[in-house]
Structure formats: C-alpha cells, structure tokens
Structure 1
Amino acid sequence: SLPRRFCSQAPALGGDARHLDLRSDTHSKPTEAMLRAMAEADVGDDARGECRVTKALEEQLADLMGMEAAVFVPTCTMANCIALLHHSNACEAYSYACGRHSHIARSEDFANRILGLAPALVEVTSEGVPESESLERAFEEEGASFVCLENTTWSTGVAADKVPSMPCPVHLDGARL
C-alpha cells in the first residue's frame, strides 16, 4: 500500500482518502507530497543507462514478474504499442484478437491505425472470459494470430487467469499492475 503521506490528500473514491482512483492518470492529480518527491528525485539519463532509480525499478519489476528483464516506459499506450509490434512481427501478422470492450479496443484504436494493425473484436461472457466461438472466428476468418487480455479482463474485474490457455502468443495489457 502507499505510504500515508501520499494518501492523505489524494483524490478519493467513496469519501475515503486512503483509496486512490487509479483507473487512469486523467482521474487523479498528485498530492503536494507526491510533487515534492518528484521534484527532489534522484534522476539521470535513463536512455543511456545512467538513472539508477529507473534501473532499480526495472530490476524490481523483472523480479516481481519472474522475468529476466523489464523496461520502464512512460505510458501504457507506449507499452502496448511495443508489445503489439513485437507480437505482430514475431507472428508475421497484422491482426490480433481482443475483447470488444477491452482497453486496447476502446481507448487505443489510434495506435492500431499508426501501427497498421487490425484488432479482431471478440465477444466475452458475462464473467469477462472470451467466448470460444468468437475467438475461433477471430483466428480463422479474421486472421488473428495472437490474443490481448487485460489483467482485469475487459473492464469487468474478472482475473485473466480464468481465461482458457491459448495456443498462441498472449499479450497481457498490464496498465493496472
């Protein structure tokens, strides 16, 4: 949890100042303590590997996720673009399956246009799990070659671990990790 000094004046949900609204960076503003921490932060040029704070964060996140390495990028859109390009290049494809109401489908369509990708929108169950028939159509008829999931699947709050295993690459939109 966040240190109390960061929570005490943060925008609140339900009147409780200890709960932050993290749906989007557009829904919250930093507190004075957060701004002070940013202004006083030890920084270096992360593009040249000179920022020890960024390096430490990347190492901590790689360990947390059980990965060899991690890279910090400033926005979830940039992170999704990197992942989409990686998967589309690896699969030599221009289409991927994602939930009709997923964050990538709803909020990042411009990125698809810039990257030259076409999402094959799939239906989901009331629990947020992709419908098998819809996924099959996405792969067979629309040429999808990988799947994009969300860690809270398609804004329903259902965990992505309830989704059946996929016989293809899977990108987990981790904007809310």
Structure 2
Amino acid sequence: MITVDLRSDTVTKPTQGMLEAMWNANVGDDVFGEDETVNELEAKAAAMFGMEAGIFCPSGTMTNQIAIKCFTNPLDELIADQTAHVYRYEGGGIAFNSAVSTRLLNGDRGRITAAMIEPEINADNIHYPHTSLVVLENTVNKGGGSCYTLADIAPIAELCKKHDLILHLDGARIFNALAFTGDKAVDYGKYFNGISVCLSKGLGAPVGSVFLADKETIKKARRIRKVFGGGMRQAGFLAAAGIYALDHHVTRLKTDHSHARILGEELSKCSWVTNVLPVDTNIVLFDTVKPADEIIALLAERGIKCGSTDKHRIRFVTHLDVHTEQIEYTVSVLKAIN
C-alpha cells in the first residue's frame, strides 16, 4: 500500500545532497562564535532578506519568542491576528517569556491590515498596556497558507513607523509566500525590524530557524538565546542543512503548491466536504460533514496521514517528500470515500 504523510511539511527527511553537506560541514563552538558554517548561514539568510545580521536557533518558536523579548518590555502589548502562531501555538510564551499582553484582531484568513491595526493602538494612559509591537505571519498556517504581498505589508510598515511601533514577521513559510506572490526576499528588509525564517518546513531541513534583525538586536538576541537554552555548540552540521535548503529547495516549492491545488480541486468535488479554503500555497484546509477524526481514521486505513485543526476541519500539507504518484493515489482515495 502506498503511504502519504500530509500531516505537515515538518516531517521531511534530509535528501542525499543535504546529508552530504551536513557530513562535510566545518564546525566549531557556535556559542563562542566559532562555527564557520553557522556564521555562513546567518550571513547568507540576512543578505537574502536585506537585513544586517542573523542568529541560528533550534526552532521558529524560539526565534519568534526571542524577537518578542527583544522588541518589547514587560507590561507592553503586541498586536496580531487571532489565529497567529505566536499566540496559539507557542505555549503561552508571549506572557511567560516577555510579560506582554496580546491584542487580537479578526483578519481575512489571518491577514490583518493597517486600517484594522490603527484603532487598536493604545493611547498613552496608565490604565492601558503600552502598544509596542505588531506581528504578521506569512504564510498564515490557520489561514490555509494565505499570503501577504509586499503591497499589503507596506501600509502596515508605514503605520508602525508613524506610531513608533516595531514590526516583526513570523516567516514560518516565507519562501512559500514568495513563490506565490513573486515578491523579492531582499525587499522585506525595507519593512520589518525582525524576521523569523524557518528552514525545517517547506525547505526540508531537519532543524532550525534564523532570526534576522539589525546588529544590535541580534547581539541582544544572543544573550536571550543563551538564557532560553538555545546555544547549540557544534551546530554547523545543522546549519549546513539550512544552507543546502536555501540553495536547492526554494525553487521547487511551486511543485508543492501545484500538488496542493490538485488536492483542493478534488476535495471541492467530494459530497462529504462542505467547504475548501482557497489554496494559495502548500496548505489545504477543508471542512467535513462527519467529524474530522472519523475521516482521518478512514484515510489512515488507506495509508494517508493527516491531522485536524477543528472538530470538522482537516489539514493537508504538501512537501518535498510527497511526489506526484502519491498525490494521484490520494485523489483516488478521496474519490472512493462516501
């Protein structure tokens, strides 16, 4: 039986080329700043996004939480969409790590606008937390891989400058967004104070994210990373995978998007599916008549792994370990479900 793992793009295994790059990496003690490969990855990612510097961390949760701690003070408040990963899926870290509250907005599939943000900026009043940070997510996980374009981001950045707010990007799947919009990565540095770039999702690296900002912020971030337990010593073996991913796995993301659209189109024809969110990138969210767990169990019996995001909502995520024949098999299974 064919098996297909559509639970997440985090389940990928390193390719042969990536393994060879990891094996041949020049390493040193990164906490001492002596790992050549980590230094190369940080500089490479920073240059790609038009930022001054970067810091390599074990996860996107850590890079986001470091960014929030760098950009806020206790009793501050950040603004984000109510579906934001930093709010929903990072273990309450905003409050625990930074003693910061969160103002949540109801955006369009997770995307918020300057017009939505401006009324939520608190006045300078001792009764209110100090609004200091806006966090955007691109692509939006809970939005089914929905994207911001740079044209969407520009007015938000302008508003943040007007009100002296910091703007951070949770770029968990930023390269998927770029593949969809056609925008240039280097232009992001014009708008954001901080950017988190994940290497272990669509790009297929086994571990790691990079937080990008100006040199002074990254200097502060290194101290926070140490406190969070994120100093990884000879981390160049992992950084080499990230470099390989940036060099070899970015252009192929459109294949994942094409596979996702095929699944979305087939699901829209299924009588047991009530709704399919627009498929822009590599995430397919769809609602079912029966409870999601029942459908997931049926799919599992046929070798297809997936997960739910609500009682009647299922998520498929395509990635570099899902090939055309597996998509064709999945389509045949979907057609067979009554």
State the TM-score, normalized to the length of structure 1: 0.71
Question: What one-letter code is carried by the residue in structure 2 that aligns with 1:171?
Answer: H
Distance 2:111 2:141 in 1: 6
Aligned partner of 1:76 among 60, 78, 81: 60
Among 68, 72, 89, the residue aligned to 1:88: 72
**Partner residue, 1:171:** 168
Structure 1 residue 124 and structure 2 residue 107: aligned?
yes
Q: Structure 2 CA distance, aligned partners of 1:109 and 1:160?
A: 28
Amino acid at match of 1:49: G
Structure 2: state its 5+ residue gaps.
175-338
Choose 1 or 2 for highest CA Rg. 2
Between the aligned partners of 1:143 and 1:82, the Cα distance in structure 2 is: 19
Q: Secondary structure at the match of 2:28?
A: coil
- Taking the TM superposition and a 5 Å limit, the aligned residue runs for 1:150-165 are 150-153=137-140, 155-156=142-143, 157-159=146-148, 161=150, 162-163=152-153, 164-165=155-156
RCO comparison, higher one (Cα < 8 Å, 6+):
2
Q: Retained in 2: the 8 A contact 1:152–1:160? A: no
Which amino acid in 2 is paired with 1:40? W
When the two structures are aligned, how many residues end up with a matched partner?
A: 155
Specify whether residues 75 and 34 from structure 1 end up closer, same or farther in structure 2 by C-alpha distance, changes over 3 A only.
Answer: farther
User: Does the Cα contact within 8 Å between 1:96 and 1:148 map onto a contact in 2?
Assistant: yes
Which residue of 1 is the match for residue 39 of structure 2? 55
For the Cα contact (< 8 Å) 1:124–1:131, is it kept in 2? no
The amino acid across from 1:46 in the alignment is D
SS of the residue corresponding to residue 55 of structure 2 reads: coil
Question: 1:7 corresponds to which residue?
Answer: none
* Helix, strand or coil at the partner of 1:63: helix
Deviation at 1:50, TM superposition (A): 1.7
1:148 to 135, 139, 143: 135
Instruction: Please report the TM-score for the alignment, with normalisation by the length of structure 2.
Output: 0.40
Unaligned segments of structure 1, at least 5 residues = 1-10, 14-20
Distance change in 2, residues 1:84/1:66 (3 Å): same
Q: How far apart in 1 are the matches of 2:110 and 2:103?
A: 20
Alpha-carbon distance in structure 1 between the residues aligned to 2:16 and 2:38: 20
Alpha carbons 2:83, 2:110 under 8 Å: kept: no
Distance in 2 (alpha carbons) for counterparts of 1:121 and 1:109: 16
Distance 2:49 2:96 in 1: 29
Residues 105/135 of structure 1: CA separation in 2 closer, same or farther (3 Å cut): farther
More displaced 10-residue stretch of structure 1: 123-132 or 145-154: 123-132
Q: After the TM superposition, which segments of 4 or more aligned residues of structure 1 sit over 6 Å from their partners?
A: none
Q: Which residue of 1 aligns with 2:87?
A: 105
